[in-house]
């Protein structure tokens, strides 16, 4: 069996920046275990698979795998999938609707930008979070802790986010996927994302984290339209909008890196 794949850098206009995703178009689903093995072999934050959908209102069904687990939502690989469909596979309609484990996800092409309609996951403040989390993250002080899917830790400055040096072994023991965030200087907010429990010490740019960051910062800054930067080594830039209590928009550019073929 031969399968095609493309590798795309998402949430960036510069090659070798943003978040790389392996995109594998399928005509029909292959075995779950095989998809997980392919994701492990690719060893990227996500390998994404999609097939033509039979669901009313959807164009494709989509699934995302880290090297260790299947996850329920991934922004950068969805962005990369839309980019591949438009630039490599001849898709021409103004928007693409993906059916996923997190519901329907719409991606619209707007010039060089791809804008995704995603669920809004507003995190709520918590007081019960792992002991010593500031020391585990290598930050001075926790301003606030919040939770939706992931643990969101707010710190005082952009510099603290940038200079954090997590102890990934200790963080993995907490079982948490963690968002570190602060108000930005040249952008509205900045973040980093750590998920050693899912096989990713640090994810370069994380769309699903922004499903939580956008409602968090929209309320905090009293703004609907915002800009964001993820301060990983590769870095990434996003435009964001709180569209309603239920939906957010996040968008950015993509850069094509390579295409190839699996032979299994």
Question: Is residue 253 annotated as part of the catalytic site, yes or no?
Answer: no
Set 27, 46, 68, 261: catalytic member: 46
Q: What are phi and psi of 147, to 5 degrees?
A: -150, 135
pLDDT the model gives residue 239:
96
Per-residue model confidence as pLDDT tens digits over 18-48? 999 999 999 999 999 999 999 999 999 999 9
pLDDT band at 208 (very low <50, low <70, confident <90, very high): very high
By DSSP bridging, strand 225-230 and strand 200-203 are unpaired
Q: How far apart (Å, rounded) are the C-alpha atoms in residues 132 and 250?
A: 32
pLDDT digits (tens, 9 = 90+) for 69-84: 999 999 999 999 999 9
Answer whether 237's CB lies under 8 Å from 252's CB: yes
What confidence tens digit (pLDDT) does each residue in 211-243 have? 999 999 999 999 999 999 999 999 999 999 999
pLDDT at 180 (0 to 100): 98
Q: What does 85-97 look like in DSSP terms, one character per residue? A: HHHTS---SSEEE
User: To which residue do tokens 């950068």 refer?
Assistant: 76
Cα–Cα distance for residue pair 153/191, rounded to 1 Å: 10
Q: What is the pLDDT of residue 72?
A: 93
Per-position DSSP letters for 85-134, written without gaps between them? HHHTS---SSEEEEEETTEEEEEEEETTEEEEEEE----EE-S---TTHH
pLDDT in tens, 136-193: 999 999 999 999 999 999 999 999 999 999 999 999 999 999 999 999 999 999 999 9
Q: Determine the pLDDT at residue 37.
A: 97
Question: Domains plus CATH for the chain?
Answer: 2-118+252-263 (3.10.310.10), 124-242 (3.10.310.10)
Mean pLDDT of 128-140: 96
**What average pLDDT does this structure show over 7-16?**
97
């Amino acid at each position: 069996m031969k399968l095609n794949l493309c590798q795309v850098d998402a949430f960036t206009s510069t090659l070798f920046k943003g978040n790389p995703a392996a995109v594998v178009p399928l005509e029909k689903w292959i075995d779950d275990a095989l998809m997980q093995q392919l994701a492990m072999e690719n060893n990227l934050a996500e390998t994404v698979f999609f097939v033509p959908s039979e669901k009313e209102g959807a164009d494709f069904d989509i699934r995302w795998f880290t090297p260790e687990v299947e996850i329920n939502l991934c922004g950068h690989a969805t962005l990369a999938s839309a980019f591949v469909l438009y630039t490599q596979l001849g898709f021409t309609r103004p928007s693409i609707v993906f059916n996923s484990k997190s519901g329907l996800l719409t991606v619209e092409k707007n010039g060089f930008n791809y804008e995704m309609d995603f669920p809004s996951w507003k995190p709520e403040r918590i007081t019960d979070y792992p002991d010593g989390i500031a020391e585990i993250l290598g930050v001075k002080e926790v301003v606030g802790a919040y939770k939706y899917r992931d643990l969101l830790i707010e710190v005082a400055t952009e510099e603290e986010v940038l200079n954090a040096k997590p102890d990934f072994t200790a963080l993995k023991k907490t079982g948490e996927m963690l968002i570190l965030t602060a108000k930005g200087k040249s952008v509205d907010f900045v973040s980093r994302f750590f998920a050693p429990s899912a096989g990713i010490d640090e994810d370069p740019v994380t769309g699903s984290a922004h499903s939580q960051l956008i409602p968090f910062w929209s309320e905090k800054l009293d703004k609907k339209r915002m800009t964001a930067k993820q301060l990983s080594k590769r870095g990434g830039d996003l435009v964001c909008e709180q569209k309603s209590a239920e939906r957010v928009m996040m968008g950015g550019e993509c850069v094509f890196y390579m295409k190839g073929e699996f032979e299994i």
